[in-house]
Structure formats: structure tokens, C-alpha cells
Amino acid sequence: MIALVDCNNFYVSCERVFDPRLEGRPVGVLSNNDGCVIARSNELKALGVEMGAALHLLPPYIRRRAVLLSSNYALYGDMSKRVTQTLAEFSPHVEVYSIDESFVGFQGFDPATLEERGHRLRQTVRQWTGIPVSVGLAPTRVLAKVANHAAKKLPAYGGVCKLEVDNPATRTILRQLPVTELWGVARRTGERLALMSIETAWQLREADPKRIRRAFSVVMERIVWELRGHPAITLDDMAAPKQQIMVSRSFGRMTGDLVDLREALRQHTARAGEKLRRQGSVTSAVMVFINTNRFQLEHPQYRNSVVVPLPRPTDDSREIAHAAARGLEAIFLKGYRYQKIGVMLLDLSTDTHRQLSLDETPQSEAARQRRQRLMATMDRLNRELCRDAVRLGLPRKGNAWGLRCERRTPRYTTRWEELVRVKA
């Protein structure tokens, strides 16, 4: 059995931990430079504010009623790390899937105890970190995603839903679930599936895997197997969630050498930058994470992560690599043998809808175009010649641009001078 643990309205929940006045009110978190809404409390969703809604287009009555905050990535990164650490108390198999989602493997645990364990996990994360989570338990990742969705949407589950491979509850849920809501099924794929009269998750499960493979891909075939309860998918098969890009890899041999880590991080960052530009997006913050091998208990254990906000949304590999390198310096500790390093690009938005910030002059617009040409050329050379034909060195430290974050809450957990204040 595997659990998908997903933090509810993560960014908003982080803000609420430190400011109880936000409880019960419509709260939204804005993208870097305060352009659009990227996280919503349930109350804000109820007001009809869509994900990605532009701030300046929100009707005045909503702007008056809602609390709209700038994104506070230092805080979200720290809280994400705390949630992951808490999950690690429940199983050694914790795989971070995004800043607010992790898979927790329960292989070897008595299945009869898992539902209760799920409730305890949920309660513990809530108590230790203040973050509410939903838990979906199932034999496969794809079903765990479905279970998580149900845990979140149907109050009767109390935040924890366990799906058996086949029983009436599973059938009901899969029959009601549009196939495009499944993890790994894109809307375009959904349109083609509809032509084959496959519109619900249940119909996909009943489809002939070989036919699906011929019509689509190996990954789609695996999704069918997963729906039937046979684990077939690894995280590498799946694209990261829409708003994030993740690249991580385990080392062939473990290393404690900062130079190795830097090199690996640089490669991951370059890869992530390519993906970012291919989909025409820009990113606003970079998360770096490292960990030792949890199964080698004879070695000291360490895992850590950090989020570095970017001065402005960018698709420039140089700026991303620079931020990532600073993140690594901040969390690297000597004396450990690292198994894995990864990078995650957060808060993606579309390049073309990007709002120009106030400090962008025509000059910097020219510079931006030059930069875009440079990146495009670099991507082409790497595609046509070979991987890493052209690589980045790192720029000097200390460039600073002003970031627009007028409504950012204090960085409660990462700055001495911004600690939360309590009335004595």
C-alpha cells in the first residue's frame, strides 16, 4: 500500500499557522510580483476566484473582503520541509512529489492497520506543523491519487480515504471520475480517449491495456494497470504537477563532496531550465533538496531542503542556477554521504502573460530578448550536438534586484528579526 499525502491549500495553510486571524476568512496568495492568485483558501474559492486569476481583474468587493498576500517562499519551503520530516516518522519510504505532496510507502505494514495509521499521520502533521493534510491510501500511486481526491472532496472520509482494488466504493468513485481527472492523463489525451468511448476512470480501467499502449504510450498502459491495482508507475514516469518542474536523480555512488553535488545540481538545473522554456513558462522560486540514503542506517542521516525566491520570474538558466547554487550552500553539511540531490521550479506562469514589473525599462526589455535568444540557442545546440554541448558557468554572487512583495508576511521561521510575536 502507498499513501499520497497532500497538504490542503498549502500556501494559505502556512500563512494561517502564524496568523490565526486568517482562519475562516477568504485568503489568497499571489504569484511572484503580485501578478495573480496562485493559492486560495476554501472561502476564496467559494467567492468564485479562479486559480491564476489576475489581481488587477478581481472585482473590488472581493479585493475588499479577501486577504491577498504576496508569496513567502522562505516560509513555504521551511514548512514543506517540516511536513516531510514528520512523514518520515511514519515510514522510511517518503518520496517528495512536489512542495506540498509526498508519497509514503507502507510496504510491509499490516494493511488492516493502515487506515488508522493514516488518521494518526494526519493528526500528527496537523499538531506538529499546523498544516492540514489529506491522505489517500491505495495499492498503487494512481489509485492513491484518486483516493486522495476523495479524501479531500468527501467530508465523510475525515481526511483519510483508503481505496481497495475492487469493491463497491472504488467502483462508484472511478465511475464518477472523469478520465481527465486522473493523474497523468492530459486533456488532449482525454479528447482522444473520448473518441474511443472512454470517458470515466472506470472505463479506462476496463480497457484493453495493449490497445491503449498502441493508441497512446507505455505510460498510459501503465496507468491502466495501476487502476487495476498493479503497481507499474514510478515518479520518473510522471510529469510533475502543472505548476512545478522537478529534476532529481540518485547518485550512482554516494558522495559527500560539495563539488560533486554542485556539478549534479548544475546539470539538474540545466535540464529543468530546458523543460521550463520548452513549455514556455517562467519560474519564480527554486527549491533545492538533498538527502542521504535512509536505508543505510549505519551512516549518519540528513535531509534538508530550501526554497530560494528569484528576484523576478525568469526562464534564464543562469539566474536559476545561481539561485540553486546559493540554496545548496545554505543546506550542505559536511560529513554526510549524499544519495540524492534535486531541484524544483515553483510558481510557474506563462511567459507571454507575464506582467512587466515596474523596474523593467526598454533597455532591460532588449536585454531580455537577448537573453531569450541566448537560451534558445543554447537549447538548440544541446539538442542538435549532444547533451551539455554548451553549459553554464555560474555568475558572481551578489546581484540583487528588488522583488515586488508588498504584501508578504514575515519570514517567521527563517529570520531572527521576523519571528512570530506572542503576547505575554
> Which residues would be at the binding site for other proteins (CB under 8 A)?
18, 20-21, 23, 81-83, 85-86, 89, 124, 127-130, 300-302, 335, 412-413, 419-424
Question: Between residues 130 and 190, which has the closer beta carbon with respect to other proteins?
Answer: 130
Closest CB to other proteins among residues 22, 403: 22
**In degrees to the nearest 10, what's the CA dihedral of 78, 80, 82, 87?**
-170
Number of C-alpha atoms within 13 angstroms, CB side, residue 244? 21
Q: How far is the CB of 151 from other proteins (least distance, A)?
A: 22
Q: Whose Cβ is closer to other proteins: residue 18's or residue 289's? A: 18
Helix or strand run (H / E) with residue 342: strand 338-346
CB atoms within 10 A of CB 58: 18
Nearer to other proteins, 128 or 401 (CB): 128
CB-nearer residue toward other proteins: 82 or 277: 82
Report the C-alpha gap between 412 and 18 in whole angstroms.
8
Pick between residue 253 and residue 423 the one whose CB is nearest to other proteins.
Answer: 423
Cβ atoms of 131 and 159 within 8 Å: the answer is: no
Q: For residue 241, count CB atoms less than 10 angstroms from its CB and return exposed for 0-12, middle for 13-18, buried for 19 or more.
A: middle
Give the chain's largest Cα–Cα span.
67
Q: Is the dihedral of CA 219, 223, 228, 230 positive or negative?
A: positive
Q: Which residues pair with residue 68 across a beta bridge?
A: 28
351: Cα within 13 Å, side-chain hemisphere: 12
| CB 359, min distance to other proteins, A | 33
| CA atoms within 13 Å, Cβ hemisphere of 194 | 9
Shortest spacing between CB 302 and other proteins, in angstroms: 7
Nearest to 211 by CA among 229, 197, 200: 197
The residue (of 59 and 92) whose beta carbon lies closer to other proteins is 92
**Residue placing its CB nearer to other proteins in the complex, 400 or 422:** 422
Asked if 140 and 233 count as a contact pair (C-beta separation under 8 A), the reply is yes
Q: Which is nearer to other proteins, 213 or 299 (CB)?
A: 299
Q: How far is the CB of 15 from other proteins (least distance, A)?
A: 13
The residue (of 12 and 193) whose beta carbon lies closer to other proteins is: 12
Residue 4 CA to residue 314 CA, distance in Å, equals: 31
What distance, in Å, lies between the first and last C-alpha atoms of the chain?
47
| Strand locations in 27-128 (E) | 27-30, 37-40, 67-70, 93-98, 101-105
Nearest residue to 285 (alpha-carbon basis) of 99, 52, 68: 99
Residue 310 φ/ψ, nearest 5 degrees = -90, 150
Q: How far is CA 300 from the centre of its chain?
A: 27
Residue 84 Cβ vs other proteins, minimum distance, rounded to whole Å: 8
Closer to other proteins at the Cβ: 154 or 420?
420
Angstrom distance (rounded) from CA 256 to CA 272: 24
Q: How far is the CB of 68 from other proteins (least distance, A)?
A: 18
Q: Least distance from C-beta 42 to other proteins, angstroms?
A: 18
Q: How far is the CB of 319 from other proteins (least distance, A)?
A: 31
H or E element that contains 372: helix 362-384
